Structure 1
Amino acid sequence: MGWLDEILWDEKGLVPVIAQDKHSGRVLMFAYANRDAVALTAEHRTAHYWTRSRNRLWHKGEESGHFQRVDEIRLDCDGDVLIYLIEQEGGIACHTGRASCFFRVLQDGAWVAVDPVLKDPAAIYHKH
């Protein structure tokens, strides 16, 4: 049995993946990966995911240039969640131009954006 077989994939063949900054420990994003994405991540040491909205393999940074260099891949005790310990190129993990996708904090019953936009998404993503 190979190491990929030890991962408990869901009914769609996906596993949740948390991308965490290897230096600060900050959670930068959450996504899903399929078997191919995890295998490519392990082989190339850059983060690959499965985008459910586009229904395809996604090499993080392929459009933005903000690649994630993967230092470690960790599997949780139940075998059903991965963490990619990464270095985030360009310091931007979120498509909104922020360092992290987790930029909103619940304050007085409302979600408040507390992290700045580091780069305008229009300057990152170009329509082809």
Structure 2
Amino acid sequence: MSLKEFEDLEKGSALELKTVLKNLKTDEHGLVAAIAQQYDTKEVLMLAYMNEKSILESLETGQVCYWSRSRQTYWRKGESSGHRQRLVGMSFDCDGDAILLQVDQLGPACHTNRRDCFFFEVDGDKVVIKSAPL
């Protein structure tokens, strides 16, 4: 299944959340990519992965929860660092294979203590570090 069958719905049409979750394109581990974006500045902060349980927890608590592929456990952003992500909004892309999280990021989003995780910037034939840790 996919969200493709719902593409022609008119603006304002509503689907049950469980229907959308059932139709997400996940990998073999039940994960889907999630992009965290600062809600007011539209700054892209990070990419992580979520499964149905972490999506539902995030919606229920307002605190973003991811699945850590490296640790193989749930990861509530900021639970050890204090750099939490408050969920402001959640959207699914047209293919159902990516989630866009509108968040209010408290402190750095990256484990390197940088504001965002995308600090390796291509400049011609080099990659330049574009930011320093905060």
Instruction: Please tell me the TM-score bracket, short chain as reference.
Output: 0.7 to 0.9
Q: TM-score, normalised by structure 2?
A: 0.83
In structure 1, the partner of 2:113 is 97
**Structure 1 stretches of 4+ moved >4 Å:** none
Q: Which amino acid aligns with 2:75?
A: W
Deviation at 1:53, TM superposition (A): 0.5
* Counterpart selection for 2:125 from 109, 119, 124: 109
**2:58 partner SS:** helix
Cα deviation 1:18-57 (Å, max 9, x = unaligned): 0001111111000011111111111011111011110111
Q: Does 1:54 align with 2:71?
A: yes
Q: TM-score, normalised by structure 1?
A: 0.86
Which segment drifts farther, 5-14 or 33-42? Answer: 5-14
Q: Which amino acid aligns with 1:57?
A: Y
State how far apart, in whole Å, the 1-side matches of 2:125 and 2:68 are: 30
State how far apart, in whole Å, the 2-side matches of 1:109 and 1:100 are: 23
Q: Does 1:66 align with 2:83?
A: yes
* Percentage identity across paired residues of the two chains: 40
**Runs of at least 5 residues in structure 2 that lack an aligned partner in the other structure:** 1-15
**Runs of at least 5 residues in structure 1 that lack an aligned partner in the other structure:** 119-128
Bigger radius of gyration: 2
State how far apart, in whole Å, the 2-side matches of 1:104 and 1:73 are: 26
In structure 1, the partner of 2:7 is none
What is the count of residue pairs matched by the alignment? 117
Q: Does 1:11 align with 2:28?
A: yes
Q: Which amino acid aligns with 2:116?
A: S
Q: Which amino acid aligns with 1:116?
A: A
CA RMSD of aligned residues (A): 1.2
State how far apart, in whole Å, the 1-side matches of 2:111 and 2:121 are: 18
State how far apart, in whole Å, the 2-side matches of 1:30 and 1:109 are: 25
